[in-house]
Each structure stands twice: as C-alpha cells, then as structure tokens.
C-alpha cells in the first residue's frame, strides 16, 4: 500500500475505532477484566465467475476482520482484504487492497425500549486501475440503529459518503427495517439503497439508483452435528451502483450497475466458538457504457471464531 493510502487508512482508523474506544474508556467500571472483551475474527473468501461479460473473467477476494466488543457498551473492528479482478481481452487485471475500520457505541435511554447504537465505518481502497476511476477510494459511513429489548424490531438509518478520483463523490442513504418472529428463530430485514452519484458521466449515466435488499434468516433448533445452525435467503431488486454494504463491510467500487441478486447461505456451528458460513448466488450486472449485461455466479466462505 502506498504511503498516501497508509496515511489515509491510519486517519480513518483513528477516527472510527478511536471514538468507540474513547467512549468505552469514559465509562467507569470498578473491576474491568480481560473477560469483559469478546474478540472474534472473520476469515472470508469469495470467488465469482462472470458469465456473459465482454470484459470480466472472474473475481477472487480474501479478507480478515478482527472484532472486539466490550460487554454491551460498544466495540470496534479492523479488517483488510485483497481482491483480484481478472479481465478478458488482454486488459490488465485489477489487484486491489482494502482496509476497514469500524467503531460503535451503545446508548441506553429509559425512554426507549432498547439501545440506540452509533456506528462509524471507514474504508480506504487502492488498486492498479489504469484509468484511476476505481483507485484511491475512501468511504465514511455513519449509522444510527435501534434494536428493541425483545429483539423483534430493528431500525437503522445509514449514510455513506464515498470519494473517488476523477470527479466523483457518491452519497448513499440506507433506511433499514428488521423484524424477528417465531420466538427468535426467524428474522427478516429489508434495506433500501438510495444512491446519488455526483457525476452521472462517471456512474454509467446514472444520476441516482434505488434498490431493495431483503434477507430472511432462520435459526434451526440444534440437533445432529451436521444440522445447520442458520439458513440465509437473500435477494436484491432494483439498481445500485457504487454501493457500500455495512453488514458485509464491502464497497462495490469495482462493479458496474447491479441489477439484482439472489443468494442462499447455510451456516454450521463447528464448535462452541467457531462457525462456518457457505453462501452461493448470482448477481446481475449491466455495463451501460458498452451495453453489456452479464452475471456473476459467486461462492462465499466465512469462518468466524471467538477467541
């Protein structure tokens, strides 16, 4: 990573995780111990194969995120990922590295039947894109969320401000609703992506996009060792470009206009501290500049471990 990106990431890291740590440290605790911190890691790998694209062949991405939560007060996360987008037709592959920092803090008000969570994410991305259009991307994404004590109602209002080279800024609003039912065994969530690029010429002639991302998660009653712990069915309708996905800690800086997706995921609990998630699905894209519609069939693996 170049010095400039290193410096930028350092700044982003200090802003987001520093806020969370400062707020946590400000809370007096008579007997804090190392057991009060819950540390976990997520190791992820994604492989995607493009079908029908005239310029893209495949995508492979690997990443690691370290999360640390202090009791129910707040926490922070730090991560990094490396992505290779293989091109067709003799074009250069894109090799990309991304850094991620996130901090959150929970506020408890007696007037509210659940905590409010303040969260700030930051991303810094650099790659070898010769056009520089997807290189040197930075994202700030604050979010205000609420989850009731019964854990059957969730609301968040997310915002993301992305800065790209060559005269492009992107604003994103993501109001989200979630509902739990069946005694906590099921969860449905819908997130609207309202994205407004500042320069349509740099966003495949899109001055704004709207998409709805919905997911259903079901937790199974524990049974045999092979029994999955969780099932995830997800889909996206509408269009979005340059999206920032807070749940997946992902910035879609390399993609064209996404026109929908469908995916299925299954998670197993390998031990008391380790879970394995396998997801597979299809994403539909459109490159409006060359009128090329194509698909990305992907598989995703995530190993989550609590330490």
Q: Closest approach of Cβ 108 to other proteins, in Å?
A: 5
Question: Residue 205's beta-bridge partner residues?
Answer: none
- To which residue do tokens 């989850």 refer? 147
CA dihedral sign of residues 14, 125, 163, 283 = negative
Give whichever of 36 and 247 is closer to other proteins, judged by the CB atom.
36
Phi first, then psi, for residue 270 (nearest 5°) are -80, -30
For 40, residues 6+ apart whose C-beta sits below 8 A from its C-beta are: 66, 67, 68, 304, 305, 306, 307
Give whichever of 224 and 291 is closer to other proteins, judged by the CB atom.
224
Count of alpha carbons within 13 Å of 275, Cβ hemisphere only? Answer: 16
Element (H, E) at 3: helix 3-25
d(CA 148, CA 217): 18
Q: Closest approach of Cβ 112 to other proteins, in Å?
A: 10
Q: Closest approach of Cβ 64 to other proteins, in Å?
A: 25
Q: Closest approach of Cβ 149 to other proteins, in Å?
A: 5
Residues near other proteins (CB under 8 A): 28, 30-31, 33, 35-36, 38, 71-73, 108-110, 115, 149, 184, 221-223, 272
Give whichever of 3 and 110 is closer to other proteins, judged by the CB atom.
110
Give whichever of 131 and 221 is closer to other proteins, judged by the CB atom.
221
Q: Closest approach of Cβ 76 to other proteins, in Å?
A: 16
Give whichever of 33 and 131 is closer to other proteins, judged by the CB atom.
33
d(CA 105, CA 116): 8
């Amino acid at each position: 990573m170049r010095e400039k990106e290193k410096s930028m990431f350092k700044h982003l890291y200090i802003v987001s995780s520093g806020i969370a740590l400062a707020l946590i440290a400000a809370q007096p605790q008579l007997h804090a111990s190392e057991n009060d911190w819950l540390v976990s890691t997520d190791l992820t790998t994604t492989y995607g194969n493009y079908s029908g694209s005239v310029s893209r062949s495949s995508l492979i991405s690997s990443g690691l995120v370290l999360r640390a939560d202090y009791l129910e007060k707040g926490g922070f996360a730090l991560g990094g990922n490396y992505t290779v987008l293989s091109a067709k037709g003799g074009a250069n592959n894109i090799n990309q590295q991304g850094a991620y920092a996130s901090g959150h803090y929970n506020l408890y008000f007696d007037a509210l039947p659940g905590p409010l969570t303040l969260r700030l994410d930051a991303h810094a991305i650099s790659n070898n894109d010769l056009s520089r259009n997807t290189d040197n991307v930075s994202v700030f994404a604050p979010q205000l969320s609420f989850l009731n004590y019964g854990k059957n109602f969730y609301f968040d209002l997310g915002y993301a401000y992305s800065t790209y080279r060559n005269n492009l800024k992107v604003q994103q609003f993501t109001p989200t609703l979630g509902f739990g039912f069946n005694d906590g065994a099921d969860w449905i969530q819908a997130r609207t992506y309202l994205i407004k690029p500042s320069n349509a010429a740099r966003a495949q002639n899109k001055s704004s996009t709207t998409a709805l991302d919905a997911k259903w998660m079901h937790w199974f009653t524990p049974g045999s060792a092979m029994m999955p712990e969780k099932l995830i069915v997800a889909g996206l309708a509408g269009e979005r470009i340059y999206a920032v996905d807070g749940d997946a800690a992902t910035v879609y800086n390399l993609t064209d206009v996404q026109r929908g997706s469908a995916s299925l995921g299954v998670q197993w609990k390998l031990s008391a501290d380790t879970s394995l998630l396998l997801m597979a699905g299809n994403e539909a894209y459109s490159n409006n500049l060359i009128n090329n519609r194509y698909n990305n069939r992907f598989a995703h693996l995530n190993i989550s471990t609590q330490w």
